[in-house]
Amino acid sequence: MAQKPSIPKGTRDFSPVEMAGRNYIFDTVKSVFKKYGFLPLETPSMENLSTLLGKYGEEGDKLLFKVLNSGDAFSGVDYDGYKVGEENGKRFYNSNALSLKVCEKGLRYDLTVPFARYVVQHQNELTFPFKRYQLQPVWRADRPQKGRYREFYQCDVDVIGSRSLLNELELVQIVDEVFSMFDIRVCVKINNRKILSGLAEISGHPDKLIDITVAIDKIDKIGLDAVKDELRERGLDDAAISVIEPVLTLSGTSAQKISTMRGILAASEVGLKGVDELEELFGLIETSGVRQEVEIDLSLARGLNYYTGAIFEVKAKDFAIGSICGGGRYDDLTGIFGLPNMSGVGISFGADRIYDVLLGLDKFPKEAVSGTRVLFTNMGAAELRYLIPIAKELRLAGLPVEIYPDNVKLKKQFDYADKKGIKYLAIVGENEVNKGVVTLKDLTTGEQVEVTPAEIAEKIK
Per mean pLDDT, which range of 32-46, 157-171, 218-232 is the poorest?
218-232
**DSSP letters for 108-154:** -S-SHHHHHHHHHHTGGGPPSSEEEEEEEEEE-----BTTB-SEEEE
3-state secondary structure of 424: strand
Number of other CB atoms surrounding residue 293 within 10 Å? 13
* 400 within 8 A of 426, measured Cβ to Cβ: no
- For residue 447, give the DSSP letter: -
pLDDT tens by residue, 273-305: 999 999 999 999 999 999 999 999 988 888 667
3-state secondary structure of 160: strand
* 29 within 8 A of 179, measured Cβ to Cβ: no
- Give the phi and the psi of residue 128 in degrees, each rounded to 5: -100, 145
227 falls in which pLDDT band (50, 70, 90)? confident
Instruction: Please report the pLDDT score of residue 233 as a whole number.
Output: 85
pLDDT tens by residue, 101-133: 778 899 999 999 999 999 999 999 999 999 999
Nearest to 189 by CA among 57, 358, 347: 347
Q: What percent of the chain has pLDDT over 90?
A: 65
Q: How far apart are CA 133 and CA 348, in angstroms?
A: 9
CA distances from residue 255 to 131, 191, 271 in whole angstroms, order as listed: 31, 13, 16
- Computed over every residue of the chain, the mean pLDDT equals 90
Model confidence at 414: pLDDT above 80 = yes
Model confidence at 3: pLDDT above 90 = no
Q: Letter for the amino acid at 36?
A: Y
**DSSP letters for 76-116:** T--GGGGEEEEETTEEEE-HHHHHHHH-SEEE-S-SHHHHH
- 57 conformational bin, left if phi > 0, alpha if psi -120 to 50, beta if neither: left
Which has the higher per-residue pLDDT, 213 or 28? 28
Q: Which domains does the chain carry?
A: 16-48+108-360 (3.30.930.10), 371-460 (3.40.50.800)
Angle between helices 351-360 and 16-35 (to 10 degrees): 110
3-state secondary structure of 228: helix
Question: What's the mean pLDDT in 231-246?
Answer: 83
Which has the higher per-residue pLDDT, 312 or 76? 312
- Strand ranges of the sheet holding 186-192, from the earlier edge strand across to the other edge: 39-40, 130-139, 151-160, 344-350, 325-330, 310-316, 186-192, 293-296
Instruction: Please report the pLDDT score of residue 71 as a whole number.
Output: 66
* 70 within 8 A of 223, measured Cβ to Cβ: no
Cα 323 to chain centroid distance, Å, stands at: 10
Q: How far apart are CA 342 and CA 257, in angstroms?
A: 30
- Count how many Cα atoms sit within 13 Å of the Cα of residue 70 in the half-sphere of its side chain: 0
Instruction: Please report the pLDDT score of residue 251 as a whole number.
Output: 86
Per mean pLDDT, which range of 95-104, 199-208, 249-258, 442-451 is the poorest?
95-104
pLDDT tens by residue, 7-43: 999 999 999 889 999 999 999 999 999 999 999 999 9
Bridge partners of 136, per DSSP, are 154
Q: How far apart are CA 325 and CA 184, in angstroms?
A: 13
Instruction: Please report the pLDDT score of residue 62 as a whole number.
Output: 87
